[in-house]
Structure 1
Amino acid sequence: MPESRARDIERGKQAVRGRLWCRRVDGDGATDDPYGKIPGFYGADAAAACLAELEPWKRAAIPVTDDQKRSATMIGMRIASGLLVAGMTATATACSPAADRATATVPAAPAAPTATAASQRPSETLSPVLERPLPNVKGKTFTSAIVDFPPNARAVAHRHGAAFVYAYVLEGTVRSQLAGEPVRTYHQGQNWVEQPGAHHLLTENTSRTKVAKLLVIFISNTGDKLKIEDPPT
């Protein structure tokens, strides 16, 4: 890529960041001092605290020094802050004039697995771990869950309603596709996010002999159902 083109792209990114931050400040959605956060949206600290209580998160790394403990805590806060930032970004983008939005061409999605087709293979199991209202974000609930995929398991196409979703691969390898996006493969330690209303066409364990496991975080409207499967066809 030409250097001038790269500079133009970076300037464009910075302009979007600036507009987003101004909208959050004007709407009283951001803290006065963003120093040390990504950035400091209200509710990020509460989400980080919920995340820090999860046993899979505690087992993900074993801090042995004070510096490592501080580092592990900061990583948790950054992930939780990032979840809320991405959700805020989606909201700001949806409210922006069409001229402000970036356009892209994406490949057409293949047909989603129906309930009948998916039933011919093992299915996943979602086990909630922690559910807690976000004290600084009225009407929103933080929910964490472990999703277990037996060998060769495949989920029925589904949505998560108005929830913003973060998924982290704890074990194994998972193949995933959201509507309008290409198929992607995620290995242990990798992650992805799903915007509110996203249609999750494909989620499957790529191995026929090994299990796969996800840690999934939902920031949802309090009381909403977390997973809505496509009806059988």
Structure 2
Amino acid sequence: MIIRPILTGFCATAAIFASASAAAHGPGDIVKPNFEQTIPNLPGKSLVAVEVEYPPGAASLPHVHAKSAFIYAYVVSGAVESKVNDGDVHVYRAGESWSEPPGASHPVSRNASKTQPAKLLAVFVVDSNDKELTTPVR
């Protein structure tokens, strides 16, 4: 039956988005699934995108990303303060972007403003079997 493959695909997609949206986000940030698909010409790889909305003053908890995840981050609106690995803290404004290498540590990811919201699009190229896209640092 066609229902079983559809349900299996839906459950796999839901698991990816659940780990992306719940694992390392802090009080006040809102993570929404945006896109997920396997990459046909890169066997074993998937493209996963999530939107991270930061109300004024909101932040994500410090976290690490999946060891296979290459990330492209694009600020859709507002300004986002970010630090990757041991790099400097940098403020990215709407229209600016950065990348993060596989297994990156993300000790700072927050709205740079206490009065204006910010929105970030995070695009992951990741091993399809990596379900935990972010893990909180304890």
Return the TM-score normalized by structure 2. 0.77
27, 36, 49: which is aligned to 1:131?
A: 36
Pick which of 190-199 and 177-186 moved more.
177-186
**Does residue 151 of structure 1 match 2:56?**
yes
Alpha-carbon distance, 1:128 to partner: 1.1
Q: Which residue of structure 1 lines up, in the alignment, with residue 136 of structure 2?
A: 229
Q: Which residue of structure 2 lines up, in the alignment, with residue 52 of structure 1?
A: none
Q: Which residue of structure 2 lines up, in the alignment, with residue 195 of structure 1?
A: 101
Count of aligned residue pairs for this structure pair? 113
Q: Kindly provide the amino acid, as one letter, of the partner of residue 147 in structure 1.
A: V
Q: What whole-Å deviation, never above 9, does each CA across 1:34-53 have from its counterpart, x for those lacking one?
A: xxxxxxxxxxxxxxxxxxxx
Please give the residue correspondences for 1:1-233 in structure 2 after superposition, counting only pairs within 5 Å: 122-161=27-66, 162-224=68-130, 225-231=132-138
Alpha-carbon distance, 1:206 to partner: 1.2
Higher RCO (CA 8 Å, separation ≥ 6 residues): 2
SS of alignment partner, residue 107 of structure 2? strand
Say which structure is richer in helix: 1
SS of alignment partner, residue 40 of structure 2? coil
Return the TM-score normalized by structure 1. 0.46
Q: Kindly provide the amino acid, as one letter, of the partner of residue 229 in structure 1.
A: P
Q: Which runs of 5+ in 1 are unaligned?
A: 1-114
Structure having the higher Rg: 1
Q: Which runs of 4+ in 1 moved over 6 A?
A: none
Q: Which runs of 5+ in 2 are unaligned?
A: 1-23
How high is the sequence identity, in percent, across the aligned residues? Answer: 37
CA distance in 2, matches of 1:221, 1:123: 29
Q: What whole-Å deviation, never above 9, does each CA across 1:144-183 have from its counterpart, x for those lacking one?
A: 1111111100111111112000000000001100122111
